[in-house]
Structure 1
Amino acid sequence: MKTILVTGATGKQGTATVYELLKNNFEVFALTRNPQSSEAHNLEKAGAVLVKGDLENIEALSDLFKKIDGLYLVLPPVWISSKETDEKEAELGIKAIRLAEEQGVKFVLYSSVLASDKQDAFRPKFKFTIEKYLLESNLQGAVIRPASFMENLLLPSFGLGEGKFINPLPEETAISWVTTNDIGTFARIIFQNYQAFNGKTVDFGGELFAPKQVLKLLEEKLKQPIEFVQVPLEILHQQSETFARLVEMIDQEGYDPIDYEFIASWMPKLTGFEQWMDETGIQKIKELRNHK
């Protein structure tokens, strides 16, 4: 396992994985729609080979797939989900896996999402569809299901740049959080030990925090109050029926427990929420505010 193609390479998760693989002597192809972006230039400077393209034109990557040992499949993010976007995502993922199978790729690691199997009840063609297709194929492969990204707090939809914490989730329900750097590290560990992970699905996340606990930590670190804005469920239904159903699922069922012992057996220390805030988060939130 020497040469890896990372899709979505200039996104937060893809970038973290590319850097981690390069630091550990892998050869990395980085797929990006825009090789001229600053993120792409940084990856190239670090030693990645940039590949212009996207998964919607998967046939154009056929020759590249012949050259790689491993594929890290990260699909483009969708911010307002629907039945149509779910189905398109499932189609993109399956086409990429099918090409990997045709071209003899040794191992495919697919990045899904926590509780993709539970979401299957109301999202019949989505990430769990891709997981099943991979694990039932003739390929060697594994699935990583990351928890909520700490970095997502920096998105405009959370409102921290405006002194608000806009929360769409059940406010008392604790969920797992993880940094994209830790996802990149664990992805690298999987590729280094791909035979041990073959056929496995790994729920990957760290500390449990309810939204009000996140708010308290933010206020302590920023040393100022933040307005807590709870988005009503009826508003979520208007914006995205599928996301609203996800929030209802979290409220009613919660997530299954993560096997922290298994994660620790491969990666003893994950980044804590407070550590992430101290190292990068608070500085970036302050930068968001300064740009207002």
Structure 2
Amino acid sequence: MKKILVAGATGKQGSATAYELLQNGFEVFALTRNPQSQEAIQLEKAGAQLVKGDLEDVEVLRKTLGKVDGLYLVLPGVWVSSVETDEAEAALGIQTLKLAEEQGVQFVLYSSVMASDKQHTFRPKFKFTIEKYLLESKLQGAVIRPASFMENLILPSFGLGEGKFVNPLPEETAISWIATKDIGTFARIILQNYKYFNGKTIDFGGELFTPKQVLELLEEKLNQPIEFIQVPVEILYQQSETFAQLVEMIAKEGYDPINYDLISSWMPKLTSFEEWLDTEGGSKIKELQAAAN
């Protein structure tokens, strides 16, 4: 299996996976809405074949799926979720899997989200719906459920550009964090060893940190005080009921334990939070702060 279609190839997960595959002998078809973007141009220079379109372009998708052996499927991000956006995502994911079945794709790796099964109680049509369809279909496939991205801290909603750490999560609950480049590496490992991973669901994450521990690490690495702002769940409900319910679920139940033995048997070293801040995150946060000033 050498030819892989990477959905969302210019996004965080997609690009990390595309570059890993290219560096390890795969032929990559990179699905992108804008082939003229800097990210797409860099992928093409690295050896990817650009495919203009997105997952809603059925004919483009059908044609491309007929050329490949495997599919790395990640759905477009939704920052303000609702019942309507959840249902639309589930429908798009299943439509894509049906096209993969139709075109005889050998293996599909679907990138979901940690605790998707627990969210099923209040998000009945969402990522877990796509997972179930894949694993119950005639397709060979696996599901990877990444933890919180370290890169998300660079988003404006976290406020680090203004010297603040806006935290919507339970203040005392430790959650797992992962660098997106590690997702790309593990995705490549799964695709290289797809027969072993067929039918499996893997929670993929690294170190556990409470929000206050993240704050302490940020202050240490950036060498500056940062204002901690805890967002009340009432405010979250005003912004997105589904996200507020997720936060309540995390506070009440937490996440299931990650099988670190499985991960380390295939990938002995993950990027630590400190490493990410030293090599990438710290400089990007300082760039945000400089732009804000």
The 2-side partners of 1:280 and 1:61 are apart by 34
Q: Residue 169 of structure 1 aligns with which residue?
A: 169
Residues 112-148 of structure 1: CA deviation (Å, up to 9, x unaligned):
0000000000000000000000000001000000000
Q: Residue 158 of structure 1 aligns with which residue?
A: 158
Q: Residue 10 of structure 2 aligns with which residue?
A: 10
The 1-side partners of 2:75 and 2:58 are apart by 12
Q: Which amino acid aligns with 2:137?
A: S
Q: Which amino acid aligns with 2:252?
A: Q
Residue 235 of structure 1: how far off its partner (Å): 0.3
Paired residue secondary structure (2:56):
helix
Residues 144-179 of structure 1: CA deviation (Å, up to 9, x unaligned):
000000000000000001100000000110000000
Residues 245-282 of structure 1: CA deviation (Å, up to 9, x unaligned):
00000000000000000100111111111111111110
Whether 2:125 is the aligned partner of 1:125: answer: yes
Paired residue secondary structure (1:274):
helix
The 2-side partners of 1:190 and 1:283 are apart by 31
Give matches, 1:1-292, under 5 Å.
Answer: 1-292=1-292
Structure 1 unaligned regions, length at least 5: none
Residue 61 of structure 1: how far off its partner (Å): 1.7
TM-score (norm 2): 0.99
TM-score (norm 1): 0.99
Q: Which amino acid aligns with 1:275?
A: E
The 2-side partners of 1:133 and 1:31 are apart by 22
Residue 58 of structure 1: how far off its partner (Å): 2.2
Residue 64 of structure 1: how far off its partner (Å): 1.1
The 1-side partners of 2:170 and 2:224 are apart by 24
The 2-side partners of 1:175 and 1:195 are apart by 30
The 1-side partners of 2:42 and 2:161 are apart by 26
The 2-side partners of 1:124 and 1:65 are apart by 28
The 1-side partners of 2:281 and 2:225 are apart by 17
Q: Which amino acid aligns with 1:266?
A: W
Residues 53-92 of structure 1: CA deviation (Å, up to 9, x unaligned):
0111223321211110000001000000000000000001
Residue 101 of structure 1: how far off its partner (Å): 0.4
Paired residue secondary structure (2:66):
helix
Structure 2 unaligned regions, length at least 5: none
The 2-side partners of 1:177 and 1:218 are apart by 14
Paired residue secondary structure (1:40):
helix
Residues 183-206 of structure 1: CA deviation (Å, up to 9, x unaligned):
000000000000000000000000
Aligned length: 292
Q: Which amino acid aligns with 1:271?
A: T
The 1-side partners of 2:225 and 2:58 are apart by 48
The 1-side partners of 2:151 and 2:226 are apart by 18
The 1-side partners of 2:198 and 2:10 are apart by 26
Q: Which amino acid aligns with 1:78?
A: V
Paired residue secondary structure (1:67):
coil
Paired residue secondary structure (1:134):
helix
Q: Which amino acid aligns with 1:64?
A: T
Residue 220 of structure 1: how far off its partner (Å): 0.5
Q: Which amino acid aligns with 1:48?
A: A
Paired residue secondary structure (1:143):
strand
State percent identity of aligned pairs: 77
Paired residue secondary structure (2:143):
strand
4+ residue stretches of structure 1 with deviation over 4 A? none
The 1-side partners of 2:57 and 2:67 are apart by 18
The 2-side partners of 1:154 and 1:169 are apart by 16
The 2-side partners of 1:228 and 1:61 are apart by 45
